[in-house]
A and B are shown apart, each in its own frame.
Chain A
């Protein structure tokens, strides 16, 4: 009797649980975002110019612009973004677990992240390289003079690995001081707890811009790595990956074609250039192919401007960060920005 009771309950429970497991995760990322009405975008915990809350507590910056552009393309509203601050260590878990829909967080595109961690990089929004910053009074002029130095390094980053490679290949020793966020690194560096701060050169420029006396610190000339930074999404939902990829491409193409946030409203109707018309949705079905409205790209450009405007407004030479376009100029100007055509 006892045995049959046990078996009976097990059978009933088995059927019930089988039914419960049957309904899988049918929803797509796009569907979830539209249902939720907002985009969850993973950003840094605060790096001036790239992603940081301003005095009003609103997130702004170069990477934040990418999030807003995607939100504008998908939902038509650039403010419908929940920004989730992530550290170098928590970002991938946040993305893999579905806590965020995409990361726009100075993340380097590498083979193992793309293949082994199962993420999909949807392009490059900033071509960067790792540099070193030291106080001017140390009198160091080259990274090769850093033997024995104490180096502040954000833990869980590619820079951590590049640093180890750089010092061992040059037969130098160093003392790493692992740090969680850029703000902590800044504090440690300014207190002199480390001689050198190393991260992507753009990050160094952004950090230095927030110092009381930026001229007391030099960024050494050596760039020791390639750091193509770009937004990324999870493997497996290619429709969503396409949306993020082509939103970024739309911003780049807009700059190439001379579409700005100021003229995006009328140029679609007045121009004769068919690519602009396709981009802005006044001709063709590109939006529908992505599962979005026809004016998706126009919304994105209207919200944050084209790539050039986004760059100049947040990290360009007119800002305190003062980064030159360099590698990040359009291919027509000798840079590496080259968007596939909208066709």
Chain B
């Protein structure tokens, strides 16, 4: 700055830039801005020089090349002839699957543990303290490995199920097999699938199958049922508030709105259960919940659940004791007091930190590689990078995916938070 040759403007001296409060803040901001820009330029320059030194370019074309590797758990069609881009999508869906499952279980678990930790029952509250402190204070990776090891070492191999006097047997009427490769459960299949059915060439019998259309239809009907049920409930409440009498049979109408359409769809599609069966090396048919998924899901849920329990407990304790006493004075039962008075007010305190926990859970799911769960970190960020040598591109895409997912989760949760927070004028 000493090299500046501007002619001095009326009465302005260079020292004013530091000593004059009118200019000082501007000086500091300019210097900080320049330093930050310099840092960025240095980083970019570093990348360019090093890429050049390694003789590499920056190109996302590898996403269209043949991947050549197989993925065990795929929610969409994928084979080793598919592209690296497709492999990334398979990984993304696997990440989202474990994140959604984990968030739901962790929330249920956390709310229960948080409420029970405040219980007056000594044993119950101490048990919950042990759970919370145990899971909160031991690294997540250890829990993932422990659960995985227990599942792998403590359960029988598929071949133990074979033979007349087998060492292991299936449970729940031969419908569920717990093995060290995962849990096999019956699958829902349809005799009149929307995706069409194949016919057995020998017997002429229709082979039941399942297509994406069937599942989407079923889910859509169930969701519509819940919406209708909610509408019936709100209408009943409105009538009750107006007349003081709740319309008779409201509960059955609400139940029917959910169950009846779903049953109709199931019958129309000719739904049956397909049981897992030991064939060759492994169980075939049914749904295979791999140990890697179960270990990751359980560990993430238990670990995050412990944090959520503390958030719930804090939220409940933030509600003034007068509220409980007032509710009791009105003669409300403890369970009503909790559900109708305390929890709705506690939600205001609970929701914002809960968002962080959901984000944590989603990002922690990248520990999947420890148990060989093929999430996006293992496919795009692992094998693809390794086979194509596109570390920079792969890691950027991976970072972008987690960033977007996290922003979507926090955006959605913020909308929910706005609906439950204290409405102020």
Known A12-B1, A93-B391; judge A149-B281 contact (CB<8 A): yes
**Which residues of B does A touch, CB under 8 Å?**
1, 3-4, 6, 9, 12, 17, 26-27, 30-31, 34, 38, 41-42, 45, 49, 53-56, 68-72, 79-81, 152-153, 157, 159, 180-181, 279-282, 284, 291, 369-370, 372, 374, 378, 382-383, 385-389, 391
Please provide the chain A residues from 151 to 172 with a CB less than 8 Å away from any CB of chain B in the complex: 155-156, 160-161, 163-165, 167-168
Q: List 6 A-B contacts (CB under 8 A).
A: A21-B42, A92-B386, A118-B56, A167-B70, A168-B79, A177-B181
A191 to B153, Cβ gap below 8 A?
yes
| Cα separation A253 to B30 with both chains bound (whole Å) | 66
Which one of A9, A117, A180 contacts B369 once the chains associate, using CB atoms below 8 Å? Answer: A180
Which one of B41, B69, B284 contacts A17 once the chains associate, using CB atoms below 8 Å? Answer: B41
Which one of B49, B282, B389 contacts A117 once the chains associate, using CB atoms below 8 Å? Answer: B389
B54 to A96, Cβ gap below 8 A?
yes
- Cβ–Cβ < 8 Å partners of B157 in chain A: 191-193
B54 to A156, Cβ gap below 8 A?
no
- Cβ–Cβ < 8 Å partners of B38 in chain A: 13, 17
Known A1-B9, A88-B386, A192-B159; judge A178-B378 contact (CB<8 A): yes
Known A1-B9, A92-B386, A164-B80; judge A150-B30 contact (CB<8 A): no
The distance from the CB of B375 to the nearest CB of chain A, in whole angstroms, is 11
A148 to B71, Cβ gap below 8 A?
no
Known A8-B3, A150-B281, A191-B152; judge A118-B372 contact (CB<8 A): no
The distance from the CB of B19 to the nearest CB of chain A, in whole angstroms, is 15
A164 to B282, Cβ gap below 8 A?
no
- Cβ–Cβ < 8 Å partners of A180 in chain B: 369-370, 372
| Cα separation A236 to B391 with both chains bound (whole Å) | 19
A5 to B30, Cβ gap below 8 A?
yes
- Cβ–Cβ < 8 Å partners of A21 in chain B: 42, 45, 49
**Which residues of A does B touch, CB under 8 Å?**
1-2, 4-6, 8-10, 12-13, 17, 20-21, 24-25, 88-89, 92-93, 96, 112-113, 116-118, 138, 146-150, 155-156, 160-161, 163-165, 167-168, 174-180, 187-188, 191-195, 234-236
B1 to A5, Cβ gap below 8 A?
yes
Known A168-B80, A192-B159; judge A156-B56 contact (CB<8 A): no
B53 to A236, Cβ gap below 8 A?
yes
A176 to B291, Cβ gap below 8 A?
no
A5 to B152, Cβ gap below 8 A?
no
| Cα separation A16 to B227 with both chains bound (whole Å) | 65
- Most A CB contacts (10 A, CB to CB) among B68, B282, B284, B372 go to B372
A2 to B26, Cβ gap below 8 A?
yes
CB-nearest residue of chain A to B30? A6
Known A191-B180, A195-B281; judge A164-B68 contact (CB<8 A): yes
| Cα separation A92 to B384 with both chains bound (whole Å) | 13
B68 to A118, Cβ gap below 8 A?
no
CB-nearest residue of chain A to B6? A4
| Cα separation A8 to B38 with both chains bound (whole Å) | 14
| Cα separation A21 to B50 with both chains bound (whole Å) | 12
CB-nearest residue of chain B to A162? B68
Sorted nearest first, the 10 A-B pairs with minimum C-beta distance are: A192-B157, A156-B386, A117-B389, A164-B80, A148-B280, A178-B372, A149-B281, A161-B68, A8-B4, A195-B281
What 5 additional pairs, Cβ within 8 angstroms, besides A89-B383, A160-B69, A193-B157? A9-B30, A118-B56, A176-B72, A193-B181, A236-B54
- Cβ–Cβ < 8 Å partners of A235 in chain B: 54-55
A96 to B70, Cβ gap below 8 A?
no
| Cα separation A17 to B180 with both chains bound (whole Å) | 58
The distance from the CB of B54 to the nearest CB of chain A, in whole angstroms, is 5
A164 to B372, Cβ gap below 8 A?
no
| Cα separation A92 to B385 with both chains bound (whole Å) | 10
| Cα separation A149 to B157 with both chains bound (whole Å) | 13
- Cβ–Cβ < 8 Å partners of A1 in chain B: 6, 9, 12
B181 to A150, Cβ gap below 8 A?
yes
| Cα separation A235 to B389 with both chains bound (whole Å) | 13
B389 to A116, Cβ gap below 8 A?
yes
- Cβ–Cβ < 8 Å partners of A165 in chain B: 68, 80
A155 to B389, Cβ gap below 8 A?
no
A156 to B383, Cβ gap below 8 A?
yes
The distance from the CB of A164 to the nearest CB of chain B, in whole angstroms, is 4
A193 to B70, Cβ gap below 8 A?
no
- Most B CB contacts (10 A, CB to CB) among A12, A161, A187 go to A161
B72 to A118, Cβ gap below 8 A?
no
A13 to B9, Cβ gap below 8 A?
no
Known A92-B389, A168-B80, A178-B372; judge A17-B42 contact (CB<8 A): yes
| Cα separation A164 to B157 with both chains bound (whole Å) | 24
